[in-house]
Each structure stands twice: as C-alpha cells, then as structure tokens.
Amino acid sequence: MSQSPELSLGSVSERDIDFLLLEEFTASPDFANWFIGEALGDSVCFVSVLSSRRSVAQLSGESDLEITFRDTHAGVRMLMIENKINAGFQPQQAERYRQRGEVYIARGFCTGFSTVLVAPARYFGTTAVSKFDGCVNYESISEWFAQASSLGQRGQYKRALLKEAIKKGTLGYQPEEDAAVTAFWYAYWRHAREYAPELEMVEPGGKPARAGFVHFCPPLLPPELSIIHKLTFGRVDLQFRGMGRNLSKLNTTLETLLEPDMRIDRASGSGAIRIDVPPLKTVASADDQAGAIRAGLEAAKRLFKWFERNQSHFHRI
C-alpha cells in the first residue's frame, strides 16, 4: 500500500473551510444529507441540493454559505451557514441571519430556512450559539470524512485541513472582544458597503480594544499591496510590503504621479503613499463620526483609483 504524501498546510482560514464545505454540498449528496441531519435532526427530509452559494451579501449582512435544497416536508428550503474558526460573534449576528431568511421567504426564494453555525466544538457553550437553529462542529465533519472510504487520500487531505482549523480555533490568539470597538467596526463596515463597495471590506468579527487598522484588499490589488485606513492615527495608506528601507525607489518611480495631498512615507517595514484624514475614536459612536468615516473611505477610494490609473509604472519598483 502506498504511503500518503507529506502535507504542509500553513495557516488555515475560514475561507478555506467555506470552500471545503461548498465543494461537498455541490458534489456529494451523501455529505449534504448527513450535514442537514446532523444540524437539524428529523425536522427536515433532504432530497437534493438545488444551489450552493458562498459569501452572499445583503443589507443586513453576509452569509458565509447559502445552500438551497429540496425538502420532502417543506418544499424548497435554504440552509444559511455561519462558519467560524476563532473569530468572535458580531452584534446580533444570528438575528441578522434570520432577517435575511425572512426576506428570502417573502420574495419567494424558498418556503423555509434554517440558520446553522459551523465551528470547532469549543464554540458550542456560548449564548450566541443557541440563537442558531442548528450547529455542526468541525470534529464531526472530520469524522464523516474518516468514514467516507471512497474518498481515499482526498478524504485524508480534508481531515488534515479541518485538523489545522481546529488547532487554530483552540490554540490561536484570541484577543478579548471589546463591545464598543466591535460595534464601531460593524457600523464602519456598513458605511463602507454603502459608500465604497469597490473596496470590498470584509464583514468584521469581534474586535479587541486596540483594533484600529482597516485593511481593504479589492481583487485587482496585487498581494504585495494593501490599502489601510489607520483609524486612530488619521491616515490612509496604499502600502507596499517590504519597501520601508527603499523609499528612494518609490520616490523616483512614483513621486511625479502623486496628487497634491499624497506623500510617500515609511510605514514600519513597508513604504506607503499616504493621505491624511480626520482621526477616529473607535470607542465612541460611529454615527457621531460619520463625516470622518466618509473622509477616510473617500481617501481609500482615491488611492485605489490612483493605483488603477498608474499601475503600468509599478513594474519598475
């Protein structure tokens, strides 16, 4: 019998588990049937998956996964899944999932819905968990893959991915969530979705007291670049990873292209094109600082558009 090849996964993210689940719901009726039964028991009778969607954004927030399936008892149902490894819950997150489900029913997209939390087992002692209709832990999913002998080494890979996610959820750094800062970040995210959707800010989870850097990573931005609103410092940076000691090259290549209020500066080990904006207090009401939030988002949008116009020059850096 051949040995399994050595596998090194590095850091595993919630996104990795999202895609693992999406693949199984799309390709494996056995997995879908097992998962729905594990989450909801005998309250539904699975027939077949009709559609699978990831990262579905609505005004009330974002669903990690939405699985529409045919149910013998209730026609077309939707499974709305929140996936977590080690992030905290957002304000009224379970309730907002339910709001989206009610909208789907009202619009005729389904005849019923269920909200499900997927996470390492350690999550399932919290109050927020009880607000979901069902829960499935990573450990149970891993066990399902262990028993699915037809998967062969692909099943071993999937178990290894889940093992790393469980380890991250158990041993990873878990800063204490600050309620006021978390509320500010969520309000900021709502402003960003309305005013700067092209920046594609990810919906934030629970945030510790010192969380002050919003990272924007729109798909067109190369991985070595990021746009960061440094909330309490009052600046927005288009940041070039690893260029902190080579600002002269940034100046030589890009200085003549800068707009009047842009400058090149060092940002720790990185170089940055920087715009000053009003500083924000993350422990205070976001509504009272709406103007400053919009100013920061406007600066971030300008830096992104500036990059799009001038990216042909970046090969010289």
Q: Report which of 111, 44, 51, 36 is spatially closest to residue 73, judged by C-alpha positions.
A: 44
pLDDT in tens, 23-79: 999 999 999 999 988 888 877 788 899 999 998 877 777 889 999 999 887 689 999
pLDDT in tens, 245-278: 778 888 888 999 999 999 999 887 788 999 999 9
CATH architecture of 14-171: 3-Layer(aba) Sandwich (3.40)
Query: For the chain, what are the domain ranges?
Result: 14-171, 179-316
Q: What is the pLDDT of residue 173?
A: 46
pLDDT in tens, 80-98: 999 988 777 777 788 889 9
DSSP characters over 116-175: EEEE-GGGGGSGGGGGSSEEEEHHHHHHHHHH-GGGTHHHHHHHHHHHHHHHHHHHS--P
Say how far apart CA 188 and CA 195 lie, in whole Å.
10
Q: How many CB atoms lie within 10 A of CB 190?
A: 17
Q: Could you tell me the pTM of the whole model?
A: 0.56
Say how far apart CA 277 and CA 302 lie, in whole Å.
12
Report the mean per-residue pLDDT for the chain: 86
Residue 1, pLDDT > 50, answer no
pLDDT in tens, 99-150: 999 999 999 999 999 999 998 887 766 555 678 898 898 998 998 898 887 7
